[in-house]
Amino acid sequence: IVLIVWAGTGLVALTEQLLQSRVALRYAAFSILCALLTFTTAQTVAASVAEPKSAGELFYANLRMGMALGQLPDAAKITVAYGDAGILPFVSGVRHMDIVGLNENRIAREGKERGWLWIVGYVLGSRPDVIGFYTYPDGIVFNLGHGLMGGYYSVLASAPDFLNNYTYAGGFDAGSVHTQWFVYNQSPYRDAIWQAVQAAADFKDYTIRMP
């Protein structure tokens, strides 16, 4: 894509030089560039869906979790708190609470002012139906994520409010990390979520360790 942008920029400049900056032709060249970018992006997305493992192990793990949740009749009513806003909510249709804050206005704005500890309390206090985070393959919680919460997932995972109210549902092997999923005990969709994740997961049981 970067090469196409550079080529397109050169094409526009050359068109201006040769045709004395005729506006109509300049915009025609720009339209060609946009079409090339759209075509390339569409091919990339299509290839990732057709061969999901080619897009990376984490993408594939999140895709599998999303497909597991997406088969539930009440998927649109389920809230999933997780730090990656990507393929999982796209294929599942669940309501995604982005712990990092990229698509969660309150976390993005108030979290910046109040800090990561407030985010932990806000997430747990919101009682999402599902909470997910990463561990290393040895079970230690991964604390090297991005955003304000990136270094404090172990605080969330060890909070009494989390331990008392969430049950392990299953995990997925994403190579250098594992994705771990927990379901809220009082969720009206608790049993359906647990069964769907267990059926799809690589790990049916897991020991989470703190760093």
- DSSP one-letter string for 64-133: HHHHHHHTSTTGGG-EEEES--SHHHHHH-PEEEETTSTT-HHHHHHHHHH-HHHHHHHHHHT--SEEEE
Query: 60-116, pLDDT tens digit by residue?
Result: 999 999 999 999 999 999 999 999 878 999 999 999 999 998 888 899 999 999 999
Residue 84 confidence (pLDDT): 85
Residue 29 confidence (pLDDT): 61
Residue 146 confidence (pLDDT): 87
Query: From CA 139, how far away is CA 1, in angstroms rounded?
Result: 37
Query: From CA 196, how far away is CA 167, in angstroms rounded?
Result: 14
* pTM for this prediction: 0.76
Query: From CA 87, how far away is CA 60, in angstroms rounded?
Result: 9
The crossing angle, in degrees rounded to 10, of helices 23-50 and 2-18 is 170
The residues near 147 (Cβ < 8 Å, ≥ 6 apart) are 83, 99, 100, 101, 102
Nearest CA among 201, 161, 164 for reference residue 181: 201
Residue 38 confidence (pLDDT): 57
- With a cut of 50, which residues of the chain have pLDDT below it? 2-3, 5-7, 41-50, 52, 54
